[in-house]
């Protein structure tokens, strides 16, 4: 299995899980019509992505349903390990960014200048962390994934 196959498998698994989560959110929040309908539509997108990924993988001789999704366990080759570490850092920073945004919004709504100052000072650094990890992933992916 090469690096492209690993990424196709991870994307297939990730889109499938996202579709399941979006469907669950739509079901849990059925009374909120906007959330229900938008989450349902977004789930359809992820289902479509999953189908297209499976078709692409099939064209490459890869059956995405034949094994559980990898990429949750650390890979052996060092370049892949670095990519996965950067991916995990990026996802953690993205989660933090959303929390900073929520804090800033509630600070504005409640006119809490201290909380707003905190979010305004820290959130840009979190965004910078995300840009750094994204740039590193862009730079390292081609060589790391084609060298397998």
Per-residue pLDDT at 68: 52
The pLDDT value recorded for residue 53 is: 94
Provide the pLDDT for residue 127: 96
List the structure tokens of 80: 């892949």
Cα-based distances in Å from 4 to 38, 110, 148: 31, 48, 9
Question: How do residues 62-106 score in pLDDT, each as one tens digit?
Answer: 998 765 555 555 566 788 888 999 999 999 999 999 999 999 999
Q: What's the number of CA atoms in the CB half-sphere (13 Å) around residue 144?
A: 19
Q: Which of 144, 125, 45 is nearest to 87 (CA)?
A: 144
Average pLDDT estimate for 27-55: 94
Burial 10-44 (b: 16+ CB within 10 A, else e): bbbbbbbebbeebbebbeeeeeeeeebeebeebbe
For the entire predicted model, the pTM comes to: 0.76
């Amino acid at each position: 299995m090469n690096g492209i196959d690993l990424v196709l498998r991870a994307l297939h698994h990730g889109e499938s899980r996202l579709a399941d989560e979006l469907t669950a959110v739509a079901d849990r929040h059925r009374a909120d019509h906007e959330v229900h309908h938008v989450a349902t539509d977004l789930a359809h997108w992820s289902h479509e992505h999953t189908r297209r990924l499976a078709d692409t993988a099939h064209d490459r001789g890869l059956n995405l349903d034949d094994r559980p999704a990898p990429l949750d366990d650390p890979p052996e080759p060092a370049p892949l390990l670095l990519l996965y570490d950067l991916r995990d850092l990026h996802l953690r920073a993205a989660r933090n960014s959303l929390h900073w945004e929520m804090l800033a919004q509630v600070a504005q709504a409640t006119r809490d200048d201290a909380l707003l100052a905190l979010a305004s000072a820290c959130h840009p650094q979190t965004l910078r962390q995300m840009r750094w990890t994204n740039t590193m992933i862009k730079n390292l992916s081609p060589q790391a994934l084609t060298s397998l």
